[in-house]
Amino acid sequence: MTPGKSGPKPLPTLTQVVIPAPDQPVQPVQASNALPSADRVLQRLMPVFEERIRAVVEQVLFEQKSALTASLRSEVETILGEIRATEGSQSNANVAPVAVTNQLFEGRKQ
């Protein structure tokens, strides 16, 4: 260093920089007040979840019912055609419902 110059200016310490707090006690922030609990969040979301689940289940059941109805209709038409072919000369009105039921539930078990 040169003879007329002094060293670098001293930096203040942390305690000199920080402004002292007033004499009031500091209240810690509790986690339960800061963020909602998982139970409270789930409680608020459950109606939304239930409605979405209900809508999805309704759609799936409707699609399955439609597919099953089409499949059963096709199967019944096939069986009725087979019965008509085996009975030959009888009219469609004379096809016995019992014969159709027997064909559906006993003759077609796979």
Query: Which positions ≥6 away from 94 have C-beta within 8 Å?
Result: 87
When pLDDT is cut at 50, 70 and 90, the band that residue 102 belongs to is low
The per-residue pLDDT for range 38-60, each reduced to its tens digit, is: 888 889 999 999 999 999 999 99
When pLDDT is cut at 50, 70 and 90, the band that residue 65 belongs to is very high
Side chain identity at residue 98, one-letter code: V
Between 71 and 107, the higher pLDDT residue: 71
User: What 3-state DSSP class applies to 57?
Assistant: helix
When pLDDT is cut at 50, 70 and 90, the band that residue 36 belongs to is confident
Q: How far is CA 15 from the centre of its chain?
A: 55
CA dist 107 and 70 (Å) reads: 20
Q: What is the dihedral of CA 50, 53, 59, 62, to 10 degrees?
A: -80
